[in-house]
Amino acid sequence: MDYKILIEDIENEPSKSLNFHFDDKIEGINSVGNILSDLKITSLGEFVQVCGNVKGILKLECDLCLKEFEYNLDFDINEMFAKNALLDEYGQETELSKEQFVTDLNGEDEIDIYDLLYQSVILNLPNKKVCGINCNGDKFLKEENLSDPRLDVFKNIQIEPKNK
């Protein structure tokens, strides 16, 4: 299925806005079932706003114990796109207000919703992926005696005291 929205289609709507429902897998995102999103795409003169909510369940690997766990994804999107090229001094993105940026479409006549959702999901993953507040990752790693044989060379290093 094509997930590209033509700017012309938005402009031709009497309300200058379209509702878009996404219910599919996203390649490169390990999810349980589909990623769901209801978006409203609105033309605001020189800009196009895409806002809505994204939900899904992802399979992540715990950074502490390395076990796989399910993570409930639920966040809002509010993205702005400039229809025509922004001034050269601004480059690719221009800050409108705190945490809101404008992406320059550079004259493109469509917005790729699939790519927007992929990037948004990736950016909304937690920095530290932990399976739960009671995760005892250190114990798991010691019990399993996980070690990297490439690091064995460091086991026998002797450090001599510095001469004074």
What's the number of domains the chain is made of?
1
In a domain, 25, yes or no: yes
What pLDDT, in 10s, does the model give residues 124-149? 999 999 998 888 766 655 555 556 77
- Domain limits at 11? 4-154
Beta bridge partners of 92: none
Residue of higher predicted confidence among 59 and 137: 59
In a domain, 62, yes or no: yes
Instruction: Supply angle C-alpha 57, 102, 41, rounded to 5.
Output: 60
Say whether pLDDT at 29 is over 80: yes
In a domain, 160, yes or no: no
In a domain, 161, yes or no: no
Q: What are phi and psi of 10, to 5 degrees?
A: -70, -45
Rounded CA separation 39/51 (Å): 6
In a domain, 126, yes or no: yes
Question: Beta-carbon neighbour count of residue 133 at 10 Å?
Answer: 5
Beta bridge partners of 94: 102
Instruction: Supply angle C-alpha 82, 83, 84, rounded to 5.
Output: 95
Rounded CA separation 33/129 (Å): 20
In a domain, 29, yes or no: yes
Residue of higher predicted confidence among 112 and 164: 112
pLDDT of residue 43: 92
In a domain, 120, yes or no: yes
The model's pTM: 0.73
- Could you tell me if residue 40 is left (phi over 0), alpha (psi between -120 and 50 degrees) or otherwise beta? beta
**Is there a contact between 103 and 93 (Cβ–Cβ < 8 Å)?**
yes
Rounded CA separation 134/131 (Å): 8
What are the helix (H) ranges across the chain? Answer: 7-12, 113-123, 137-143
In a domain, 163, yes or no: no
DSSP-derived secondary structure for 71-82:
EEEEEEEEEEEE
